[in-house]
Structure formats: structure tokens, C-alpha cells
């Protein structure tokens, strides 16, 4: 439990079982979990994942539960005080890091020398390691400054000239609502960067990065000597330069704001881009969160907003006020921008209703059984999550970790009762139906909710066609104004 590798033959089995159980918990809380750019992750060889940190222990699980290779996690040492997390940390063979700010809770920063040495050892053996250079999970508008621990790890790794090339893989984590049940989670993977290749390209030691504002884990040190980094040429690895660039790689994959005011402004505008005159996608083929496209769109909005605010403040204020008015009105009406373009053809709506009612009727028996069979553990989990979550970062992690043992114990109880009351055959059938019916209930609930919302929106537009026409015209006009700004933004060297 001290963060060292167990080294026993059962380690791989325990890891895989734990990963499978956590995957169930993750897909129970989130409607969709997706790794975008998964093909960029090397299948073999040493890999260091560096990522933003916005949703506690759930963050690394998005990668860990969706790649075949074993991924070593890092976590703050104080988490072992939680009995449930202690078991998970042990099962996943996690490396514990000791933060200076946790000394009062028993953290010993001197242990970090051993922990970082263990991390480098696993990388040199061809392993994959996940680390959060921000050092803490948070809900700030933007990323916090990276600490230098990850870069020092790379420098230590490169001290061995025989070690294979280390791939540094940036990851940007995205949640449609990180504390929301049945929301979406996406890990956006960036292009790998070879550690030795990076050093060869920065042979000057990273001059000019001293004022980058990077905060170090330990007392600031001079660049680390690493003759191996350039094949024995005595090149220096400037940990500050590498830390600064790591942060840039992750920022390119994430959405960050300088203030809450900027966040509200840009996200209001981004919501309006969901409007499409052709209407929303079919409920049986919902469009998942495209993190890469959204990051690109928001970054362009940020650049355009900054440029317009500087060059034409009045025009900027007019567009910002209009975006706020439109999103406020849609919130009041209970509709989204993508629903404004909903086709109002009665025949199509009738066909949609008939089709969906047939689908829902077919799935209703198993979905109902799944709901009844899991009502007790689901209720217990929800109430415990509500009682124990005091921060926006807590609900998802609490739900994932608590649901696994709660549901597992419940299945054992139901299995015992089934075999006692119904005998072997029926008891086995009942037990086998539990996980399947639970999954069907979740999918059924998601789809039924989408159908009800779609029908409600259609009826609302049918009763208030004037409201729909006005909103559609306003959205078209707003989009036209935004498109008119594109030449201004693209022609500026300081644009998005």
C-alpha cells in the first residue's frame, strides 16, 4: 500500500478485475464515456500521460478503463484514509505522491523521492503512467499552473541512455456536466511527443521560459543534466521549459478561461452554435460530444471575442448581449438551440411517435424488471452520494466507487434468495438477468427521456409557432453576424 509494485503473479488479474468493475460503475453514472483520438496512444513502450484535473478520481478512469494496456495511476497519499479508495488504490497498483500541503494529514514529502523513482522504474520497463501536473482536482474556469514533477520524471528517465524512447501523451478531459448523472465524459488524446526528440529540439536548455510562471513541486533547481537525452551529447533538460510546453499541449486540448465572466460569455455563445435549421439528430442516433470540434470552436470564439472587444467594443457588446438574451429566453422556455429547427411536419411526427412507442413497448418489460431489481441499491447509492458530496468534484467519483460494492453485495443477496426460493435453474436465470436488465433500464431511461422531450418540444412549437419563428430568425441573424466576423479574425495575426 506504499505505492510500490506488488510484483506477485496475481497482480494482473486483480488489476483487470478492478478495471472491469470500475468500468461498470463509470458507465452506470455516465451516459457515454469516450476516448477521442484513442489511436494516438502507443500500444507498446513507455508512455507518460499528462492531463488536466477537473473531476477527482474519475479523471484517470476515462483512459484506464478504455485502453487494453495497463496504466499506472498516481494519487495523493491521503486518499488511503478512505477504506474503499484504499482497496482500489491497492488493486490498481497506484503510486502514492505526498503533497506538502497534506502534512497535517500524515503526508511525508520525503517519500516522493522513492515514489518518483518507482514511477521512472515502471516507465523504463515499458509501462504507461498517468499523472496530473496541476497537482489537485478543481473547478476553476481555467487550468492551474503545472508543477514540475512530471518534467523531472522525464529528466530522470532520460538519464538512462539504454531506455527506449518515452512518449509523452497529452490528454484533455471534458464533461458535459461533471456532477450530473447520465451525462457525457470524453478524454481527448493529443499527438504523442517523444521525450528525446523534444530535448534534441530544445538543446539550448529552453531559454526564455524562466518567466513562464511555472510553479515547482520542490525548491527551484537548475536544469537537470542528462547526457542520455541527446545520445550522450551532454544536453540539458530544462524542467521549466518542458513543464511550460506540457501545459501548452494540454491547454490545446481543453477549454480554459481567464475568469468566470469570460467563461459565461463564451459558453453562452457556444450553446447557440448547436442551432441547425435542419433540426436535431434522431433520438436513436444521438450525437455525442465531439470534444475536438468543440475545443476548436471555443478557441476561435475566444480569439474572436478578444479581437472584437479591442477593435469594436460596441459591436462586441451588442453580440454578447444578444447571446445572453437568446440563451436566457431559451432557458425560460425549456428548449435548446438545436431544438429550434425541429421539423413541424405532422406526418413525420406521427411516424416518429409510432416507431418510438413500439420500441419502448418492446423494451418495457426488461427495463421495468431492471428498475425494480435495482431500486434498492440505486436509491442507497444516490442518497449516499448526495450526503457525502460536498463539492462539484465529488458526485461522480463517489457514485462510481460506492456503486460497485453496493450493487455487488445486492446481487449476492438476490442470488442467495433466488436459489433458496426458486431452485437452481430459475435462480441462475434470475441472477444472469440482473446485469443485463440493469443495462437495459439505463438505456431505456435515456431513450425514453429523449422521446418525451422531443414530443414535448414539438407540442410547444405547435402551440406557439410565432415563438419558434422569432427564435429561428434571431438565431439565423446572430449566426450571420458571427460569420461576417470570420474574415476579420482570420486576417489578424492575433486572431484565434
Ordered DSSP codes for 285-303: SPPPP-HHHHHHHHHHHHH
Q: Which residues of 52-78 are buried (b: 16+ CB within 10 A; e: fewer)?
A: bbbbbbbbbbbbbbbbeebbbbbbbbb
pLDDT tens digits, residue range 129-157? 999 999 999 999 999 999 999 999 999 99
pLDDT tens digits, residue range 321-364? 999 999 999 999 999 999 999 988 888 888 888 999 999 999 99
Task: Quote the CA–CA distance of 373 and 351 in Å, as a whole number.
Answer: 33
pLDDT the model gives residue 228: 43
CATH 3.40.1130.10 residue spans of the chain: 11-251
pLDDT tens digits, residue range 449-461? 999 999 999 999 9
Q: Over 60: is that where the pLDDT of 2 sits? A: no
Residue 82's region, left for phi above 0, alpha for psi from -120 to 50, else beta, is: beta
Lowest mean pLDDT among 223-232, 249-258, 373-382, 391-400: 223-232
Task: Quote the CA–CA distance of 42 and 434 in Å, as a whole number.
Answer: 36
Mean pLDDT of the chain: 86
The whole-number average pLDDT for the span 425-446 is 87
DSSP string, 137-183: ----SSPPPPPSHHHHHHHHHTT-TTSPPPEEEEEEEEESSTT-TT-
Lowest mean pLDDT among 55-69, 96-110, 242-256, 473-487: 96-110
Contacts of 55 (CB under 8 A, 6+ apart): 137, 173, 175, 178, 185, 393, 396, 397
Q: Is 111 exposed, middle or buried (0-12, 13-18, 19+ CB in 10 A)?
A: middle
Please report, rounded to a whole number, the percentage of residues in the chain having pLDDT higher than 90: 67
Is domain 11-251 annotated with CATH 2.40.128.20?
A: no
Task: Quote the CA–CA distance of 82 and 152 in Å, as a whole number.
Answer: 29
Task: Quote the CA–CA distance of 173 and 181 in Å, as a whole number.
Answer: 17
Please report, rounded to a whole number, the percentage of residues in the chain having pLDDT higher than 70: 87
Let me know the angle formed at the C-alpha of 452 by 448 and 455, rounded to the nearest 5 degrees: 135
Q: Are 131 and 150 in contact (CB under 8 A)?
A: yes
Query: How many other C-beta atoms lie within 10 A of the C-beta of residue 80?
Result: 20
Amino acid at each position: 500500500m506504499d505505492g510500490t509494485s506488488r510484483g506477485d503473479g496475481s497482480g494482473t488479474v486483480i488489476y483487470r478485475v478492478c478495471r472491469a468493475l470500475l468500468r461498470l460503475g463509470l458507465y452506470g453514472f455516465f451516459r457515454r464515456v469516450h476516448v477521442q483520438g484513442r489511436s494516438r496512444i502507443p500500444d507498446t513502450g513507455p508512455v507518460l500521460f499528462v492531463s488536466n484535473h477537473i473531476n477527482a478520481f474519475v479523471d484517470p478512469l476515462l483512459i484506464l478503463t478504455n485502453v487494453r494496456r495497463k496504466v499506472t495511476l498516481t494519487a495523493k497519499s491521503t486518499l488511503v484514509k478512505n477504506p474503499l479508495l484504499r482497496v482500489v488504490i491497492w488493486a490498481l497498483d497506484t503510486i502514492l505522491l505526498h503533497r506538502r500541503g497534506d502534512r497535517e494529514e500524515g503526508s511525508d514529502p520525503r517519500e516522493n523521492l522513492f515514489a518518483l523513482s518507482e514511477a521512472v522504474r515502471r516507465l523504463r520497463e515499458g509501462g504507461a503512467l498517468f499523472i496530473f501536473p496541476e497537482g489537485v482536482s478543481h473547478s476553476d474556469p481555467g487550468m492551474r499552473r503545472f508543477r514540475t514533477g512530471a518534467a523531472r520524471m522525464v529528466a530522470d528517465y532520460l538519464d538512462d541512455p539504454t531506455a527506449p524512447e518515452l512518449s509523452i501523451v497529452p490528454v484533455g478531459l471534458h464533461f458535459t456536466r461533471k456532477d450530473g448523472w447520465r451525462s457525457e465524459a470524453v478524454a481527448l488524446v493529443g499527438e504523442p511527443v517523444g521525450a528525446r526528440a523534444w530535448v534534441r529540439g530544445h538543446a539550448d536548455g529552453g531559454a526564455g521560459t524562466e518567466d513562464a510562471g511555472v510553479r515547482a513541486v520542490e525548491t527551484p533547481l537548475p536544469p537537470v543534466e542528462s547526457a542520455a537525452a541527446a545520445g550522450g551529447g551532454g544536453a540539458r533538460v530544462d524542467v521549466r521549459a518542458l513543464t511550460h510546453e506540457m501545459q501548452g499541449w494540454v491547454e490545446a486540448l481543453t477549454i480554459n478561461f481567464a475568469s468566470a465572466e469570460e467563461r459565461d460569455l463564451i459558453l453562452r455563445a457556444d450553446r447557440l452554435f448547436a442551432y441547425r435549421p435542419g433540426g436535431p439528430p434522431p433520438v436513436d442516433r444521438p450525437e455525442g460530444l465531439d470534444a475536438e470540434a468543440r475545443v476548436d470552436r471555443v478557441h476561435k470564439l475566444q480569439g474572436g471575442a478578444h479581437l472584437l472587444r479591442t477593435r469594436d467594443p460596441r459591436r462586441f457588446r451588442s453580440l454578447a448581449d444578444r447571446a445572453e438574451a437568446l440563451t436566457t429566453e431559451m432557458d425560460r422556455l425549456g428548449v435548446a438551440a438545436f431544438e429550434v429547427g425541429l421539423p413541424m411536419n405532422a406526418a413525420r411526427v406521427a411516424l416518429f411517435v409510432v416507431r418510438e412507442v413500439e420500441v419502448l413497448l418492446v423494451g418495457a418489460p426488461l427495463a421495468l424488471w431492471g428498475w425494480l431489481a435495482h431500486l434498492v441499491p440505486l436509491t442507497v447509492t444516490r442518497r449516499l452520494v448526495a450526503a457525502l458530496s460536498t463539492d462539484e468534484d465529488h458526485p461522480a467519483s463517489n457514485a462510481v466507487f460506492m456503486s460497485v460494492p453496493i450493487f455487488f453485495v445486492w446481487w449476492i443477496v438476490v442470488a442467495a434468495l433466488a436459489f433458496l426460493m426458486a431452485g437452481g435453474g430459475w435462480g441462475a436465470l434470475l441472477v444472469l438477468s440482473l446485469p443485463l436488465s440493469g443495462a437495459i433500464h439505463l438505456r431505456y431511461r435515456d431513450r425514453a427521456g429523449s422521446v418525451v422531450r422531443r414530443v414535448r418540444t414539438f407540442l410547444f412549437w405547435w402551440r406557439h409557432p410565432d415563438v419558434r419563428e422569432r427564435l429561428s430568425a434571431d438565431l439565423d441573424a446572430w449566426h450571420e453576424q458571427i460569420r461576417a466576423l470570420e474574415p476579420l479574425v482570420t486576417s489578424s495575426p492575433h486572431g484565434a
